[in-house]
Structure 1
Amino acid sequence: MTTISRPSAVVHVPPKSREGAEERRATWLLLGPALVFLGALSVWPFVYLLYASFTSYQLAIPIPIEWVGFKNFSRVITNARFLSSLGITLIFALVAVPLQILIGMGLALLLNGITRGRELYASLFLIPMMVAPIVVGFSWNLFLNPIYGPLNSFLKAIGFEPPAWAQSPDWALPTLVLVDTWQWTPFVMVVLLAGLKSIPSRVYEAARVDGSNRWQTFFHIVLPMLYPYLTVAFVLRFIDSFRVFDIIYILTRGGPGTSTQNLAYYTYDMGFGRFEFGIAGALSIIQLILLTVGTMLILSLAKRRDRAPAAGKALPPTVVSHATQQLQGANS
């Protein structure tokens, strides 16, 4: 018996190099317009800002632009006004950001323990973050008005002599911290709530079975697991604290005097108040360097903390091992 074999179908497989080239070409065709748009809106202005920081660029005076090198940077660093603005910026960041982390942690723990209506309560807490900063500034300006503001009227009605808040040299900076904390604490709350929801319930059950109370569980199991989320929230809020401008412009205009003039407002005043764009460019570059160094320092401290043991000494020895085993089982 003769067997007739059919010719097998020939499938043409394009070379991998051709497929890779076509994929790269398609990728660049799709990303090209977005990259051009991004470069036009961000890269080119930054390059021009960097160029202006090394020149004598002054818009109000019609003189030729000259290359001055690091003269603008030396003028800025040796200026007492810059040192004062830097100190105010650091004080604002080091007070407002930890306060927002602390209150945000409390709100996240509160919402994490609620089983019914959590989404509704979270939405209500997020309202300040959704409002435009300039609207927040105008609203608080009316609320804290020393003459017809409702807060001062209430304090006077109960027998207190309220301060002028934003118009007072002693209370202006704390007022800005209060307003910024009111607006951006919900952001920290959302980040930390996401961290709390990522912890499996079996970790809490294992700690409770092994005799750990709530405080021990929080400080020695939950809190170490939240360090990555705390780092993200702290870094983002630290960066934003250097860029606070809207509420300062609406509430205090950098005053009284220069008591609330941070680096962002100082840069605005030099660039659009005195039209010294070279000085304003140098200030912007210095702020970028300070933020980069500060962020790298925070991240390095966070990495060093991650290398340390996550569990505390106050826990019973079996609690940490049991909870860790439960967490590893949940992740697998």
Structure 2
Amino acid sequence: MIIEAGGQPPAFLRLSMGQALANEGDLLHVVTNDNISTRRIAFGRAIVWGSAAVLALTGLTQTLQETGLAGFGYSNWRPTLYAYILWAVCLCWSQVLIRGEQGKRTLFVLPAALFVISMVVFPLLFGLVIAFSDWNLSSPTGRTFNGLDNIRQMWRDPFYWNALTNMVWYSLAILVEYAIAFGLALLLNSQIRARKFFRVAFLMPLMLSPVAVSWMIGKSMMEVRFGPVARLARELGWEQPSFFGSPELARASIMIMDAWTFIPFMMIMILAGLQAIPKEVQEAAKVDGANAWRGFWEVTFPLMLPVSITAILIRIIFKLKLADIIITVTSGGPGGATDSVTSFIFREYRDRSNVGYGTLLAMVYLVLIVIAMTILMKIAERWMRPQY
């Protein structure tokens, strides 16, 4: 049947269309503006602010008890946890009361966000409480609040500042690692024989855990008496090869082992970037008369800057967590010469059972990492910004 423009369909067709829409109405959910009363809105806000007041009061009283300023009879932090759960439930409920259908949409995200906050904020706050406490696991008195004593101890601790200095040297070694990784990536990107084999072979150190690398190289191959590297050093004229005897040599040995483990990670990222460069760009540079060296510095390297900076930043993050190789091979020796901040904090926990002081060092190190990475990312953003 043909219906002319501007005309009306026949009566029987309009009746069937109305019945179809009526049947589909049972399946469709149309979101309309809710008529929310002021009493309902007031009740929603009241439960939110009331539960927030209960949470704040409970947290304050427990904090006063933990610092020894008052006693309220709490045996643990469960009341604060229960108050937080009450506030979270009231917050979700109030969204529906105040915003109606829009509030129901919020419930798809809000519970997950509150759970993430509880898993991040509460441990951080608890860590701050421990950081300003004297808590030695071997002490019969348990944890006591000591104010700024841990900060004063950190300021006078030469081993902690030595570990921070070592981290500067370890981080600067990333530039050498980057140069080696870039060279290997260029080699594997070229047309050489057994290229696939070399790609797998160069990735093998990344497949090993740092602890396995520590035992395989630091404890076995570089062992003073029977290690193959030590025997080769004797054959070359080094009478008493000791790779971990002097501070400088021990630090360099740790850098080499760590670099051997993570250079493949940077290499594979740079190799992926090189393969993404269009061949037409390099061919155009050759047509314009650029040799291999000039083509690299004026074409390949500028195009690889975003990938290179990303690889360096991720490598810095891994480097700032350097601990397992140091703990396994040297335990920070000789005399703390190879200590990283992470390994030093670990030994504060394990060897000295000093939980309070170790937590403060970890908190300070976290703040330093956040500041340093923020500055580096700002600098990297300027480098990766297109120049016109």
| Pick aligned residue for 1:63 from 141, 154, 157 | 141
Q: Which residue of 1 aligns with 2:69?
A: none
Q: Which residue of 2 aligns with 1:78?
A: 156
Q: Which residue of 2 aligns with 1:298?
A: 376
Name the CA distance, whole Å, in 1 between partners of 2:191 and 2:240: 37
What does 1:126-165 align with in structure 2 at a 5 Å threshold? 126-140=203-217, 141-161=219-239, 163-165=241-243
Amino acid at match of 2:205: P
Deviates more, 1:151-160 or 1:233-242: 151-160
- In structure 2, the gaps of 5 or more residues are 1-8, 33-99
Name the CA distance, whole Å, in 1 between partners of 2:213 and 2:368: 27
Q: Which residue of 1 aligns with 2:308?
A: 230
| Partner secondary structure for residue 166 of structure 1 | coil
- Cα drift, residue 127 of structure 1: 0.9
Q: Matched residue pairs, number?
A: 304
What does 1:58-207 align with in structure 2 at a 5 Å threshold? 58-95=136-173, 97-114=174-191, 117-140=194-217, 141-161=219-239, 163-207=241-285
CA contact (8 A) 2:348 2:355 kept: yes
Amino acid at match of 2:373: T
Q: Which residue of 1 aligns with 2:40?
A: none
| Partner secondary structure for residue 261 of structure 1 | coil
Amino acid at match of 1:223: F
> Per the alignment, do residues 293 and 136 of structure 1 end up closer, same or farther by CA in structure 2, a change over 3 Å counting?
same
Name the CA distance, whole Å, in 1 between partners of 2:134 and 2:196: 54
CA contact (8 A) 2:324 2:343 kept: no
| Partner secondary structure for residue 125 of structure 2 | helix
Name the CA distance, whole Å, in 2 between partners of 1:66 and 1:75: 16
What does 1:240-259 align with in structure 2 at a 5 Å threshold? 240-259=318-337
TM-score by length of 2: 0.71
CA contact (8 A) 1:167 1:252 kept: no
Name the CA distance, whole Å, in 2 between partners of 1:79 and 1:149: 36
Name the CA distance, whole Å, in 1 between partners of 2:133 and 2:238: 54
CA offsets, 1:64-105, max 9 Å, x none? 53333333123212322221111112112212x112111111
Q: Which residue of 1 aligns with 2:30?
A: 15
Name the CA distance, whole Å, in 2 between partners of 1:115 and 1:153: 34
| Pick aligned residue for 1:287 from 345, 348, 365 | 365
| Partner secondary structure for residue 145 of structure 1 | coil
Name the CA distance, whole Å, in 2 between partners of 1:162 and 1:204: 51
CA offsets, 1:235-260, max 9 Å, x none? 12212222211111121111111211
Q: Which residue of 2 aligns with 1:317?
A: none
> Per the alignment, do residues 38 and 240 of structure 1 end up closer, same or farther by CA in structure 2, a change over 3 Å counting?
farther
Amino acid at match of 2:231: S
| Partner secondary structure for residue 134 of structure 2 | coil
Name the CA distance, whole Å, in 2 between partners of 1:268 and 1:308: 43
Name the CA distance, whole Å, in 1 between partners of 2:237 and 2:294: 44
- Cα drift, residue 16 of structure 1: 4.6
Name the CA distance, whole Å, in 1 between partners of 2:204 and 2:263: 11
CA contact (8 A) 2:234 2:240 kept: yes
Q: Which residue of 1 aligns with 2:44?
A: none
- Cα drift, residue 150 of structure 1: 0.4
> Per the alignment, do residues 161 and 309 of structure 1 end up closer, same or farther by CA in structure 2, a change over 3 Å counting?
farther
Name the CA distance, whole Å, in 1 between partners of 2:125 and 2:289: 60
Q: After the TM superposition, which parts of structure 1 deviate over 6 Å for at least 4 consecutive aligned residues?
A: 17-23
Larger radius of gyration: 2
CA contact (8 A) 2:136 2:355 kept: yes
> Per the alignment, do residues 268 and 89 of structure 1 end up closer, same or farther by CA in structure 2, a change over 3 Å counting?
same
Percent identity reads: 26
